[in-house]
């Protein structure tokens, strides 16, 4: 962390900037894994909605 002294003796600290990383395109395996995770998320949302509807109708 870089510290400078301003007029009047106050100290001012600046954080270091992180290195930039260039994103590379996803490979086929990474795309399939991402699609599986999206699908799992959709399934979980649908199941949660179904359980909520089931409980709200008093079927438990």
Phi, psi of 20 (to 5 degrees): -80, 140
What is the domain partition of the chain in residue ranges?
A: 27-60
Single pTM value for the model: 0.57
What are the residues whose beta carbons fall under 8 Å from the beta carbon of 2, sequence distance 6 or more? 13, 14, 16
> 34 by DSSP, 3-state: which?
helix
What local confidence, expressed as pLDDT, does residue 30 receive? Answer: 96
Mean pLDDT in runs of 10 for the chain (60 residues)?
82 86 94 97 98 86
């Amino acid at each position: 962390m870089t510290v400078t002294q301003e007029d009047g003796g106050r100290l001012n600290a600046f954080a270091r900037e992180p290195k930039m990383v260039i994103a590379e395109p996803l490979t086929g395996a990474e795309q399939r894994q991402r699609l599986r995770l999206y699908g799992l998320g959709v399934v979980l949302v649908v199941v949660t909605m179904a359980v909520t509807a089931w409980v709200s109708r008093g079927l438990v």
